[in-house]
Amino acid sequence: MVLVHLKRGEESLFLLRCSADVPVETLTREIAAVYNGRLKVDRICCEMPELAEHGVSLPPDMQGLTEEQVAELKLKDEWEERCVPSGGAVFRKDEMGRRNGHAPGDQMKEVLMRTVEEAKALISKKQAQASVCVTIEMVKEALNQLRGVVMMVYPMGLPPHDPIRMELEDKEDLVGTQASLQVIPEQECQLWWAAKELHKEKKLQDYVGKNEKTKIVVKIQKRGQGAPGREPVFTEDQQKQMMMHHYKRQEELKKLDEADDDSHLDSEWSDGQALKRRFQGLNNIKWGPR
């Protein structure tokens, strides 16, 4: 199986295994699913601490308003009494005004945060450093863990406008957000290897050969962004080792230069004629006027 190391720019993302004769279209579909799935897990994990700390999301028309403004506009959160966490709620006000402040108790909060860490570990970039391949099944497992813990802590479910529920139901609206710039829809996904675009009508072996033990670095791009930058000839660790070797060599040459220094030849003690001149009384002769 060919080992594919996926990157975006210089950022290492994950490892994936595939056959050399896999159609590029199939590979692109799989990579796009894992890539976007990891982003979804990451977005949910970013919202989970807010859920654990401040409870469910307020309706969009109440977010950011003060209590006085809510009372003046006669707005009411219809989901506040429905979405009560298991074991009862603890009030922790959200200073940002995004969530209702009725947070889970410490025990349920700990369960939420522990599950977040487990889900993040499944799709972490550190998996590539450990030579562990990330599959779509692992992404689904991470999503199922997050979905399960939400159902456990909130048996009645989350409000339909809560970003976590929207993510889990694939109804998220990322328009105008920074997260939307990271997502690459499958139909806009391009794969590049060795500064060459992998065309979907071909097979991977048309580019890398039929050797199933090959390891390649593939970069993912959004259509229209052009070719990604080439991989550096030397890795960062190799560059550090080369610089360290160069520095040590410079220090060694410096010591050799000091050892070969012949400035001592100008000293009186190194003058071979000094003793002869002393016997002849020719030392310290000055030709200038006294």
Q: How do residues 233-261 score in pLDDT, each as one tens digit? A: 556 677 788 888 788 888 877 877 776 65
Provide the pLDDT confidence category of residue 139 given band limits of 50, 70 and 90: very high
Q: Which residue reads 């802590």 in tokens?
A: 153
Rounded-to-integer distance, Cα 108 and Cα 113, Å: 9
- Sequence-distant (≥ 6) Cβ neighbours of residue 18 within 8 angstroms: 1, 2, 4, 27, 30, 204
Per-residue DSSP letter, 195: T
Range scoring the smallest mean pLDDT among 66-70, 137-141, 234-238: 234-238
Judge whether 21 and 210 are in contact, CB under 8 Å: yes
In this predicted structure, the answer to whether residue 231 has a pLDDT above a threshold of 70 is: no
Which long-range contacts does 69-72 make (Cβ < 8 Å, 24+ apart)? none
- Among 7-11, 80-84, 153-157, 249-253, the range scoring the smallest mean pLDDT is 249-253
pLDDT for 248: 83
d(CA 121, CA 38): 11
Residue at token pair 């391949």: 133
Q: Cα–Cα distance between 113 and 217 in angstroms, integer? A: 34
User: What is the rounded distance in angstroms from the CA atom of residue 31 to the CA atom of residue 217?
Assistant: 13
pLDDT digits (tens, 9 = 90+) for 199-223: 999 999 999 999 889 999 999 999 8
What is residue 1's predicted lDDT score, i.e. its pLDDT? 87
Work out whether the CA dihedral 53, 55, 57, 59 comes out positive or negative: negative
Structure tokens at 71: 């009372």
Does residue 263 carry a pLDDT above 60? no
Reference 96, options 54, 57, 64, 70; nearest CA is: 64
Residue 164 has pLDDT above 90, yes or no: yes
Which pair of structure tokens corresponds to residue 250?
């410079």
Amino acid identity of residue 44, one-letter, is: I
pLDDT in tens, 123-136: 999 999 999 999 99
Q: How far apart are CA 151 and CA 140, in angstroms?
A: 16
In angstroms, how far is CA 8 from the centroid of its own chain?
Answer: 10
